[in-house]
Amino acid sequence: MSRPPDATFAASARGIAQLAWPVLVGQLAVLAFSTIDTVLVARYAAVDLAALAIGVAVFVTVFTGAMGVILALGPIVAQHFGGGRWHEAGAMLHQGVWVALVLAVPGALLLAHPAPFLWLARASPEVSTKVQDYTLALAFSLPASCLFTVWRAFNTAVSRPKAVMAIQIGALLLKIPLSVLLIQGAPVVGLPAFGVPGAGIATAVAMWSQVLVAAWVLRSDPFYSRFAVVAPGKLRLRRPDLARIRELLALGLPMGGAIVVEVTGFGFMAFFIARLGTLPVAGHQIASNLLGILFMMPLALSNATSTLVGQRIGAGDGASAERLAWHGLALATMASTVLALLLWLLRGPVVAIYTPDPAVAAAALALLGWVAVLHVLDAVQTVAQFVLRAFKIAFVSMAIYTVALWGVGLGGGYLLAFDATGLVPQALRGAAGYWAAATVGLAVAAVALLACMTWVLRRYTRSLAQASPGQPA
């Protein structure tokens, strides 16, 4: 007997793609913030590029911790949405805003005073000054980034990612001319060149613009009326609900911890590589930015897969949840393999887009083989992690990342990069050592998370089958 049409890989791929493509476009728009800044700053000065690499690592470390907690809104809302509990989904949006506002305060203070990160990087005084000016501007943008994450998580969970995508594209269109003017200056109108701090100012303006537009859409679009998010024509934040906030934090804190470990496992590479000098960290920034661009594809597919799995869990449809999880993993792995091969084949022209400096280009090219391999492994572990999130499971990811990315990745990378024994081959010293260790660490994480996903899916479908004998899981 043939499988029903909705159980095929093609059907799953279509459903995932319908949700994933606007998420992908929106994420690329956000990543383009950093990409545009990297290209413009690289052509401005190597010192500013080194400061950008450290400053981005600081911001990503601070923001992603808060973002991880807020994104717990997604699996919770997806299950309410799948079960038809509209008002519960809307109530969680308000509590997500409270959590975002509280988390933004310590994050902004840390960005305004990044001394611990500068100590870790051991940057030169010239670079440190530029980093401080850059992160100060980003401190003003952090509350907006957190609030927009609430909007993004909610809309993705209710299968409405195009609303997020449209606003993110609009913010990018605002960000590009602002970055050009503020980084390079406009002597015709008397505007000086700010270099890397100008990139931070442009980001802050663009992020607050996003929040204002999102608030207007939430109040005026009739789609949101079913969730009772706002009273007609009004936008008023409900009082904190401790029970719902606890539910959000119970999932969000380990999610945030897992993301912090994951991001710092890569982000802290910039701090340690900065100790090797301006040239290695500049090459690392280009390689890191390329990895970030490639990562948007598996991240979008993982988001879409997690949303659909969460909705099926909310509806009590175990067979579809399991099928979508495995099909999402296969789709992401295939797409990432193709992108990795394209990067390797086009590595020379791609790096030339970033910098005309042959020394910086050579430093970046030496790392792109690791980027290609790491990207495929990243796809596998990301889908597995997001499927676990759909089941409201996050602590296991944090534990796995701590061992694999901090222990194997950062710890192993330090031993390779700063070899004190003389036993490490020259090709694995310096920045390449960190990338090699990060690749091995990510492989460990991918295997462990995949094993956890397999166990959870089997246990879930078995429990549904036992609860409803004779009925499909």
pLDDT in tens, 356-390: 888 888 888 888 988 999 999 999 999 999 999 99
Separation between Cα atoms, residue 185 and residue 195, nearest integer Å: 8
Whether 261 and 398 have beta carbons less than 8 Å apart is answered as: yes
Q: Which position has the higher pLDDT, 326 or 353?
A: 326
How deeply is 174 buried, as exposed, middle or buried, from its count of CB atoms within 10 A (0-12, 13-18, 19+)? middle
Whether 293 and 451 have beta carbons less than 8 Å apart is answered as: no
Those residues with Cβ within 8 angstroms of residue 231's Cβ, 6 or more apart along the chain or in another chain: none
**What's the mean pLDDT in 313-328?**
90
Q: Is the pLDDT of residue 5 over 90?
A: no
pTM above 0.85, yes or no: no
Q: Which position has the higher pLDDT, 185 or 145?
A: 145
Whether 45 and 54 have beta carbons less than 8 Å apart is answered as: no
**What's the mean pLDDT in 390-403?**
91
How many Cα atoms sit within 13 Å of 67 on the Cβ side?
Answer: 17
Neighbours of 462 (CB within 10 A): 12
Q: Which of 28-32, 430-434, 463-467 has the lowest mean pLDDT?
A: 463-467
Residues forming a β-bridge with 434: none
Residue 245: closest CA among 52, 413, 417, 92: 92
Q: Is the pLDDT of residue 467 over 70?
A: no
Percent of the chain with pLDDT over 90: 37
Residue 312: closest CA among 449, 460, 164, 452: 460
Residue 331: closest CA among 387, 267, 252, 404: 387
Whether 413 and 438 have beta carbons less than 8 Å apart is answered as: yes
Separation between Cα atoms, residue 69 and residue 252, nearest integer Å: 4
Residue 95: closest CA among 213, 279, 238: 238
CA–CA–CA angle 220, 222, 227 (5° rounding): 105
- Residues 206, 283, 344, 403, CA torsion sign: negative
Separation between Cα atoms, residue 32 and residue 289, nearest integer Å: 10
pLDDT in tens, 31-55: 788 888 888 887 788 788 888 878 8
Separation between Cα atoms, residue 2 and residue 164, nearest integer Å: 39
Q: At 72, which amino acid appears?
A: A
